[in-house]
């Protein structure tokens, strides 16, 4: 049986259905546009994905395989707040800035900032005498209250650890990062640059100077992206006030060699639009001064190019940068690089104890073969005596004992030369008009008596490498940084009063007089007499620890020569002997 509807009733039903469909569409549109909750951020999506991967019973592998390979979208970081995270542990008090996601301050409470090196005494005295200097003379040692603690980072307005992803390099790492993790032992910063998510993750130690640092790049687009990762260390490097003043350097270890450059060298390169470039593998790179360093050491050496470059000449910012070869990241693909971040003193023992490869940053130059044993011996003596000053004195005694046979032989030769004075004077008088014949007769006399006319110079020549090596130890290793002794505040700085250089010059004058050879002409004798004065002026500018070594060595040399001149320990003369 069929039922036929009235045409008017059918039309009314159609109108009601159309109205219901329209109302449904309006409700759905309003819900999704005005009332529905926003989608979860990428971090939550990532967490959900990791949870699904970690719980296979709840996941649907078949569905996962069926999904197309697309990247999870990255959310651009815009207007991230300028946050500062404070962290502290044994040896370090630090601040980490959202500006570039980098440390902005790394204070070392074990080290007081070094006082400015005093003007060497003659300059100060002359300035006072002439009235051109009213600067007070102050012997007060630097303290945390007066000078503060050492801050490894000196460029608070720069990104200390910039990361580049393209040809722009580290220069593109500007702006604030989003703080993703803010925990006691960890801090994570995140930003997005041209669709690539950059994450800097820091894991802080309980003590020491090594922080674990991981950089992760993730392609947040739906197309493959080519990236050229670069990792930099940037800091302020002041111009040295003098050749003896504090000197900062950039460092890189490339292809088995340590390369370094100071501020002046990098400025010259920058003036030519160039930088110092070295091919890898790169084991570490850093920026630091004589005693402190901030540097990166990758878990494995990186293939690529290391550059030492000036980044901001007006602000005095310089960088050590490593750029790796270009590589392609698939949609959603991530790649991470893990580094050890060193922010501490430059000591060979400390770096080796932390299993760092940066010990070469303590660069003793060509005197390394002598300087390293000297430093090791000083460390041993300091462990026994508890005083670096006494350790230097014992080092002087030890070197003197080791060289005793040589110096004893040379000093006896010098005494024999002085015994020849009457005969040499007769030769000079009899052959004063024939210089060539005089020289021949004098050399014949020296050979007959077994005398070396240059014997007086040899002890000093043998000591010279030790002096230079000790100078490099005092100048480059933080082991003796701010070590006080007697009235010195710091054995690595010059004597603030000038007492020790004056005493050293006086002892050198005595040794010079005792060593003068009768064969010297009057001009040479005058030069030898002036040498203590010249050396004394130089000693006013050198570290007090080195002057202490030379002074003690001079005292020992005077005693040794005095014993020889007194004839103590000489073999008894036999009948007919001319000895």
Angle at 278 between CA 274 and CA 281, to 5 degrees: 150
Least confident of 69-73, 386-390, 409-413, 525-529: 69-73
Q: How confident is the model at residue 257 (pLDDT cuts 50, 70, 90)?
A: very high
In percent, the amount of the chain with pLDDT more than 90 equals 44
Claim to verify: residue 168 and residue 215 sit in the same structural domain: yes
Which pLDDT value is given to residue 320? 97
Which residue among 361, 391, 413 closes a domain? 361
| Nearest C-alpha neighbor of 74 from the set 243, 220, 230, 289 | 220
What pLDDT, in 10s, does the model give residues 72-117? Answer: 555 556 568 889 999 999 999 999 999 999 999 999 999 998 776 5
Claim to verify: residue 324 and residue 263 sit in the same structural domain: yes
Whether residue 313 lies inside any domain: the answer is yes
What pLDDT, in 10s, does the model give residues 317-353? Answer: 999 999 999 999 999 999 999 999 999 999 999 999 9
> CA-to-CA distance for 196 and 263, rounded, in angstroms?
34
Whether residue 494 lies inside any domain: the answer is yes
What pLDDT, in 10s, does the model give residues 154-204? Answer: 988 899 999 999 999 999 998 999 999 999 999 999 999 999 999 999 999
Claim to verify: residue 342 and residue 395 sit in the same structural domain: no
**C-alpha to C-alpha distances, 95 to 83, 104, 345, 462, nearest whole angstrom:** 10, 6, 18, 50
Claim to verify: residue 100 and residue 193 sit in the same structural domain: yes
What is the residue range of 523's domain?
A: 369-565
Claim to verify: residue 355 and residue 415 sit in the same structural domain: no
Which pLDDT value is given to residue 62? 33
Please enumerate, as own/partner, the contacts of 460-468 that have beta carbons within 8 Å and a separation of 24 or more: 462/403, 462/406, 462/407, 463/399, 463/403, 463/553, 465/367, 465/370, 466/370, 466/374, 466/399, 467/546, 467/549, 467/550, 468/367, 468/370
Which residue among 337, 361, 385 closes a domain? 361
Q: What mean pLDDT is predicted for residues 502-510?
A: 89
Claim to verify: residue 274 and residue 399 sit in the same structural domain: no
pLDDT at 576 over 80: no
Which pLDDT value is given to residue 20? 53
Q: How confident is the model at residue 579 (pLDDT cuts 50, 70, 90)?
A: very low
Q: How confident is the model at residue 417 (pLDDT cuts 50, 70, 90)?
A: low
DSSP of 487-516: TBS-TTSPPSS-HHHHHHHHHHHHHHHHH-
Which pLDDT value is given to residue 452? 64
Q: How confident is the model at residue 223 (pLDDT cuts 50, 70, 90)?
A: very high
Q: How many CB atoms lie within 10 A of CB 14?
A: 10
CATH classification at residue 90: 2.70.98.90
Which residue, chain included where needed, has tokens 């390169």?
Answer: 269
Whether residue 25 lies inside any domain: the answer is no
Beta strand pairing call for 249-254 and 327-329: unpaired
Q: What mean pLDDT is predicted for residues 7-14?
A: 47
Specify the number of domains making up the chain: 2
Which pLDDT value is given to residue 384? 94
Whether residue 44 lies inside any domain: the answer is no
> CA-to-CA distance for 325 and 409, rounded, in angstroms?
63
Whether residue 22 lies inside any domain: the answer is no
Indicate the average pLDDT of the chain. Answer: 79
Which residue among 321, 345, 361 closes a domain? 361
Which pLDDT value is given to residue 80? 82
């Amino acid at each position: 049986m069929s039922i036929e509807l009235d045409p008017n009733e059918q039309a009314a039903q159609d109108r009601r259905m159309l109205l219901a469909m329209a109302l449904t569409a309006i409700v759905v549109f309003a819900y999704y546009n005005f009332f529905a909750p926003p989608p979860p951020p990428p971090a939550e999506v990532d967490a959900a994905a990791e949870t699904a991967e970690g719980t296979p019973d709840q996941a649907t592998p078949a569905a996962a395989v069926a999904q197309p390979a697309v990247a999870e979208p990255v959310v651009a970081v815009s207007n991230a707040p300028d946050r500062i995270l404070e962290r502290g542990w044994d040896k370090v008090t630090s601040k980490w800035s959202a500006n570039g996601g980098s440390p902005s301050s790394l204070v070392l409470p074990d080290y007081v900032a070094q006082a400015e090196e005093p003007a060497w005494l003659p300059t100060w005295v002359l300035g006072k005498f002439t009235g051109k200097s009213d600067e007070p003379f102050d012997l007060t040692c630097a303290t945390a209250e007066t000078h503060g603690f050492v801050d490894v980072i000196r460029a608070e307005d720069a990104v200390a650890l910039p990361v580049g992803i393209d040809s722009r390099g580290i220069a593109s790492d500007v702006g604030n990062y989003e703080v993703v993790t803010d925990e006691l032992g960890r801090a994570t910063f995140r930003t997005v640059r041209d669709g690539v998510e950059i994450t800097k993750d820091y894991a802080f130690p309980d003590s020491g100077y090594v922080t674990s640092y991981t950089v992760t790049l993730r392609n947040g687009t739906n197309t493959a992206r080519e990236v050229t990762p670069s990792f930099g260390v940037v800091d302020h490097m002041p111009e040295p006030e003098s050749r003896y003043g504090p000197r900062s350097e950039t460092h890189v270890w490339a292809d088995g060699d340590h390369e370094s450059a100071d501020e002046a060298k990098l400025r010259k390169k920058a003036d030519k639009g160039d930088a110092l470039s070295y091919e890898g593998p790169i084991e570490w790179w850093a920026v630091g001064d004589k005693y402190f360093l901030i540097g990166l050491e990758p878990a494995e050496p990186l293939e690529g190019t290391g550059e030492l470059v000036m980044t901001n000449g007006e602000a005095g910012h310089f960088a050590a940068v490593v750029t790796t070869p270009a590589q392609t990241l698939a949609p959603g693909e991530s790649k991470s690089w893990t580094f050890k971040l060193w922010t501490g003193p430059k000591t060979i023992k400390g770096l080796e104890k932390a299993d760092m490869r940066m010990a070469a940053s303590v660069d003793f130059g060509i005197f390394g073969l002598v300087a390293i044993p000297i430093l090791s011996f000083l460390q041993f003596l300091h462990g026994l005596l508890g005083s670096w000053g006494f350790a230097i004195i014992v080092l002087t005694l030890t070197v003197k004992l080791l060289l005793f046979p040589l110096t004893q032989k040379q000093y006896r030769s010098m005494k024999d030369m002085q015994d020849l004075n009457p005969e040499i004077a007769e030769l000079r008088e009899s052959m004063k008009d024939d210089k060539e014949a005089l020289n021949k007769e004098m050399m014949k006399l020296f050979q007959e008596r077994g005398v070396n006319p240059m014997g007086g110079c040899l002890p000093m020549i043998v000591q010279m490498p030790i002096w230079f090596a000790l100078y490099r130890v005092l100048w480059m290793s933080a082991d003796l940084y701010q070590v006080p002794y007697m009235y010195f505040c710091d054995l690595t700085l010059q004597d603030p009063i000038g007492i020790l250089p004056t005493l050293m010059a006086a002892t050198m004058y005595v040794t010079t007089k005792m060593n003068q050879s009768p064969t010297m002409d009057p001009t040479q004798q005058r030069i030898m007499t002036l040498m203590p004065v010249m050396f004394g002026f130089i000693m006013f500018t050198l570290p007090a620890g080195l002057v202490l070594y030379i002074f003690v060595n001079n005292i020992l040399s005077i005693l040794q020569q005095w014993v020889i001149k007194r004839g103590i320990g000489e073999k008894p003369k036999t009948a007919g002997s001319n000895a």
